[in-house]
Amino acid sequence: MRIAVLGATGLTGRELTTQALARGYQVTALARDPARLQDLACPALTLARANVRDPDSVYAAVEGADALVSGLGVGPCDPPETLVEGARVAVSAGVPRIVWLGALGTGASRGVAGPVFGPLLGWALRRELAAKVEADGLVVVGGATVVHAGRLTNTQARHTYMLTPAGLARPRLLPPSISRADVAALMLDEAVAGQFPGETVVALPCVGYFAYPDHKTASDKLRSQDT
Question: What is the domain count for the chain?
Answer: 1
What percent of the chain has a predicted confidence (pLDDT) above 90? 68
In terms of C-beta density within 10 A (0-12 exposed, 13-18 middle, 19 or more buried), how is residue 197 classed? middle
Does residue 123 surpass a pLDDT of 80?
no
Q: Please tell me the predicted confidence (pLDDT) of residue 4.
A: 98
Q: How confident is the model at residue 75 (pLDDT cuts 50, 70, 90)?
A: confident
Say which CATH number the domain at 55 has: 3.40.50.720
Residues 19-72: tens digit of each pLDDT? 999 999 999 999 999 999 999 999 999 999 999 999 999 999 999 999 999 999
Contacts of range 209-213, beta carbons closer than 8 Å, 24 or more positions apart: 209/164, 209/169, 209/170, 209/172, 209/176, 210/164, 210/168, 210/169, 210/170, 211/167, 211/168, 211/169, 211/170, 212/168
Q: How confident is the model at residue 215 (pLDDT cuts 50, 70, 90)?
A: very low
Look up residue 7 and give its DSSP letter: T
Q: Residue 98: beta bridge partners? A: 68
Predicted model pTM? 0.88
Per-residue pLDDT averaged across 182-186, rounded? Answer: 98
Print the domain residue range for 19. 2-226
Look up residue 44 and give its DSSP letter: T
